[in-house]
Structure 1
Amino acid sequence: MTPPRFQHFAAIDWSGAAGERHKGIALALCSEGNAAPQIVRPGHRWSRTEVADWLAQEMPQGTLAGLDLGMSLPHADRGAYFPAWNESPADARDLWAAVERICADDPHLSVSSFVDHAEASRHFRRHGGREGDRFGGGRGRFRKSELAQERMGCRPYSNFNLIGAAQVGKSSLSGMRMLHRLSPRLPVWPVDPLPGEGSVVVEIYTTIAAMHAGRPPGRSKMRSYEELNSALISLGSRPVEASGAVDDHTSDAILTSAWLRKVAHQPELWNPPGLSEVAQTEGWTFGAV
C-alpha cells in the first residue's frame, strides 16, 4: 500500500472532561516543508463540537489529522467488546453508533449515560471504587495496537479504565461520538480504507511522536518552548518563535503535527503487523509497530 501524498498535518490533543469548553484541547496545523506548526485559534478554549465542526468544514483539503484518543475498545482478546451482552456492537462503526445512541441526551459530546449504562458499566473501572464484574482486574483489557505501543516502551492505559490522571477512557468514548458524526464523510483509518487522495483521520498517541523526537517515554511531556523546539528540530522542523513555559497540551499538539509530517509517507506505518485482523473492530494507533 502506498500512502497518499498529504499537503497538511493536524494534531489534536483531545479531552473527555466534563463541561463544554476545555483547556485540555489543543489543535496544531502545519503544511509540507519545514515551517513550525501553528496553533489553530491561539488562546481559544475549544469545545468538542467545535473541533468536530473544524474537521468537517474548515480543515484544509488533503490533511492527515491525528486525534489523541482511542477510536475503539478491545475486541480481539475476548471476541467481543462486551462479552455476554447480547447487544454488544459488532464492529467499530457499530460501537460509535451505540455510544452516540445511548448518550444522545448528554450535552457537549459527553458520555455519562454510556459509562453508567446497566450492561456497559459492568466492563469499566469507574470512580468511587466501582469496578465492574467484567472489567477483568489488573490494568484492564488492551487492544492489539496498545500492546504494540507497550512493546515500543510506552505504558498505555486500557480504554475500560476511567479513573486516574492518565486515564483515556472517557476521552476515547467522547471521541467515538465525534467519529460517528464525521464518518463516512471523513475517512477514519483503518476502519475506513486509506483513500488515494483527500483528508484522513487517524488515532495518535503523542508519546510515540515524542519518542521519535528523542525523548524517553517517561519524559514525553514538554513544558517549555526550549524543550519543544529541541524536539521539533530533531524532526526536521523549524522551531516555534517563543520561549519560556508552555502547557503540555499545546506542546503535544505542535510536536505531533510535525511528527505526522515527517513520517506520514512511510508505508510501513500504514501496514503494521496484525492490522488486518483488527482494522474493523479495534482500529489502530498510527505509528504503533
Structure 2
Amino acid sequence: MTRPEIPAYLHTPIYNRAIKARIDRGAFKNDVIVITGSASIELMKQKEFFPGRRGKGKDYIMLPLSFSEYVELIEKIKVFRGEIEEIDENFLRNGIYKEKLKVAFQKYIETGGFPLPIIDFFQYGKISFSTFKTYLDWLRGDWLKAGKNEKYMKEVISYIIRARGTPISWNNIASETSINSPNTARSYVETLESTFAAKILYFLSQKVDYKKNKKIHFTDPLFYYVFSNYCRESIDREAMIEGMAASIISRKCPVYYWRNSTEVDIICNKKEKIGFEITWGIKKWKKPRIIKKAYLLNRDNIHVYLASI
C-alpha cells in the first residue's frame, strides 16, 4: 500500500534562495510548487531568479474578472467569447442576450471584477467602506515595498484621474506634482502598472513611439472608485469605461493608441492593426488609414462587444 501524498507547506521570507537550492539538487523534480505572497511586484520580479528551473508550465496571472467572465460566472449567461479575430461572429451570436448583457454591464461598472466588491454589491447593493480600504491597503503595501513615497503616489494618481484618458507625458506629471523629475514620475506610473492597477498605452504609428505622450488608464472600475475616494477626485465615466475596455482588450493583444487629426482610443496590434473607439455620446468618427479594421463602441453596443472577448 502506497502512502497517500500529503501537501507540504514551506514558509520562508526569502523564498527564492530556499527554493532555488533545492531545485538545483533535484529535490522537487516530481513536485508542483505554488508560490504566493502579498507583494505582486516582488513575486513577478523574483521569478527571474529561476531561469531554466521552472519546468514546462505556463505563467497564469490571476486578474480580476473580465466582463465576459463576469457574465458567465455571476449572471450565468453562456456567451460566445474568444480572440479579437472572432469578435464579429461572437458579437452576432451574443445579440440574443443584448438586454441581459446591458443590465449585467451596469452592475459590472459598479463592482469591477474583484470578488469582494461583487459580493458586497449583491449583499448590500453597494461596495462597503471596508472593501475599499482592503484594496487600498493592498496597493499601499506594494508601493511602499517598491520604495515609493505615498504622498507622491497620491499626487500622480490624482493627476491621472484629472487627465481623463487624454495623452500625457512624464513631464506633464512631473510639472503638476511635487516630484519634479520626469524619470521619477515615470517610475511611479510603472509601479502602478506593475501592480496591475494601471495600463500604459503608448503611441503607435508605423512603430511604437515611447517618447510621445501616452494614455494611462486604471485597469478595473474598482480602482477608479478606490482612487477617487483616496484622492477626492471625481470620476469621468467615459474615461473609466475606456480604461476598462483597454484592460479587457489587452488580455488578448498588445494595446496602444493613435492620434492625429482624429484619434483611435485603443489599437490592438496583432498581424493587422484593429482599432476601437469608445464614445458615450453622439460622435462622428472616421476610421483612419493606419488601421485595417475599426469598431465604434458606444452605450448601445459596448456590452455585447466586451462580452464577446
TM-score by shorter chain over 0.5? no
Which is greater in Rg? 2
TM-score (normalised: structure 2): 0.27
- TM-score normalized by structure 1? 0.28
With a CA cutoff of 8 Å and minimum separation of 6, indicate the structure with the bigger relative contact order: 1
Q: Higher helix fraction: Structure 1 or Structure 2?
A: 2
